[in-house]
Chains A and B, each alone.
Chain A
């Protein structure tokens, strides 16, 4: 059968993720040292796992309410108030989803009409573009630049806006660059959004992973932005809970209401066990978050220092758990660099252009690995560069 003719035309236009190609090569090799994985290497802290187990032993195996358990909704809103100074109603402005990813999909499907333009800064996580296409929108890419530390500049945003622009995706702290947006950066962005009347999807999944003195700032806390921002967050990165699949959205009641309707039809409710575990995470997990952040920070410093020392210049990433060194000095493209590195030294990193064209000339290196693992990998990369230098 020719399945193509049955298949939705939009889905056929969506390209498969560019990260995968290197994963496939890496999977074939036995002794690959990978620096390519984008999830915490920590296990979920025990007391959080234990609450999940406890809920199971008590037989709590039913669906939760569509929006999520009231206790969890309450804890989420208390957390956003305590950490980022923003107040949401747990009953009207909060929705628990299957990971942050579901929430992103819901926002796009609820807001985007056929032909609406959605502005996506790149390099960024690979899902925004295809999900915009699937919701009938038109992705408009802004390339952030190394010289701006990969922050989104208000001038670039202004230049990208047309009559059809409806939504800006704001993915900070950023995967893959590790860039963050500080308050003054966000204030500039906010001015443009308010002036041009566009909404913001603020993907804050890495909000607990910022380093140095700078705490994450949510654009929803900037004057005039609360009413035009949907915040996405979740438990995966901050509490090392990727496999539990739990995220949430916070925003204007009308938008969250429509998202809830769609969530109800498509998903019904987020996993029950995971919600019990997440309540414990929000109530008693601050110490774990700090412990993991400190550990990431040490690794981050080690890796940034090593790359700069090797001559692959690397702006200081202040968020997430990635560094994004520039490899242009090698004369190789990102794809060539990654292919040769994995073939010659069995080290897997992800080409920067997998996250948008402007990532070409860069590679994404995850430091979500033990210090021991990182040291071996960095040593191999150093060897690779030396051999490259001597014309092998």
Chain B
């Protein structure tokens, strides 16, 4: 059933009938599995991959590096939870390497994000340093090409 997750991870729009056909499993079983995945929190939800450049809304994202001092009792978890609590923060990852956390932060302007980092993130007790990298353009996001529509046209010739 891993294939089921792989399929809907790429495209959540398939109907259970289509999934049933593609996987060669009864539709009832597919529905049960999906229900189970929701119940167990294996499937957390569904989102559209939006190409914000095509939309009028202002939308800025940044990747923030965070160096922190882990807490004695709870290690990195408590720090992570504090970061997660901000609604500006889209994603929080614990990293191996020169810094501890990578955060994806969203705002309407670069100024928004700069102020958020300065006033809210860097002031958290235990945060040693931050590094802000603004995302200038998204070429590919969650497996989808947001960039060159040309590359997506069918170049195959009509042969025989």
Contact = CB atoms under 8 A, between A and B. Distances in A.
Interface of A: 17, 19-20, 23, 26-27, 34, 36-39, 41, 125-127, 298-299, 301-302, 304-306, 371-372, 375
B158 A20 contact: yes
Contacts of B159: 38-39
A179 B11 CA distance: 30
Nearest to A348: B158
Given A302-B18, A371-B11, A372-B11, A41 B156 contact: yes
Contact of A36 (B18, B22, B158): B158
B71 to A, nearest CB: 44
B154 interface: yes
B156 A37 contact: yes
30 contacts: A17-B160, A19-B158, A20-B158, A20-B160, A26-B158, A37-B154, A37-B156, A37-B158, A38-B160, A39-B159, A41-B154, A125-B160, A126-B160, A127-B160, A298-B3, A298-B7, A298-B22, A298-B23, A301-B21, A301-B22, A301-B23, A301-B24, A302-B21, A302-B22, A305-B18, A305-B21, A306-B21, A371-B14, A372-B11, A375-B18
B158 A23 contact: yes
User: Would you call the interface of chain B mostly helix, strand, loop, or mixed?
Assistant: loop
Candidate in B11, B23, B160 with the most chain A CB atoms within 10 angstroms? B160
A63 B5 CA distance: 48
B141 to A, nearest CB: 16
Contacts of A34: 154
User: Would you call the interface of chain A mostly helix, strand, loop, or mixed?
Assistant: helix
Interface of B: 3, 7, 11, 14, 18, 21-24, 154, 156, 158-160
Contacts of B3: 298
Given A20-B160, A127-B160, A371-B11, 12 more contacts: A26-B158, A37-B156, A38-B160, A39-B156, A39-B159, A41-B154, A301-B22, A301-B23, A302-B21, A306-B21, A371-B14, A372-B11
A280 B85 CA distance: 50
A20 B23 CA distance: 34
Contacts of B24: 301
B12 to A, nearest CB: 12
Contacts of B21: 301-302, 304-306
A211 to B, nearest CB: 10
B140 to A, nearest CB: 15
A274 B14 CA distance: 38
Contacts of A372: 11
B118 to A, nearest CB: 43
A126 B21 CA distance: 31
A42 to B, nearest CB: 11
Nearest to A23: B158
A6 B76 CA distance: 85
Contacts of B11: 371-372
A38 B18 CA distance: 24
A371 B13 CA distance: 11
A294 to B, nearest CB: 8
A375 B11 CA distance: 12
A26 B158 CA distance: 10
A32 B148 CA distance: 20
Contacts of A17: 160
Contact of A27 (B7, B22, B23, B158): B158
A85 to B, nearest CB: 28
Contacts of B154: 34, 37, 41
Contacts of B22: 298-299, 301-302, 371
A232 to B, nearest CB: 16
Contacts of A27: 158
A372 B18 CA distance: 12
B17 to A, nearest CB: 8
Contacts of B7: 298
Nearest to A211: B24
Contacts of A19: 158, 160
B61 to A, nearest CB: 26
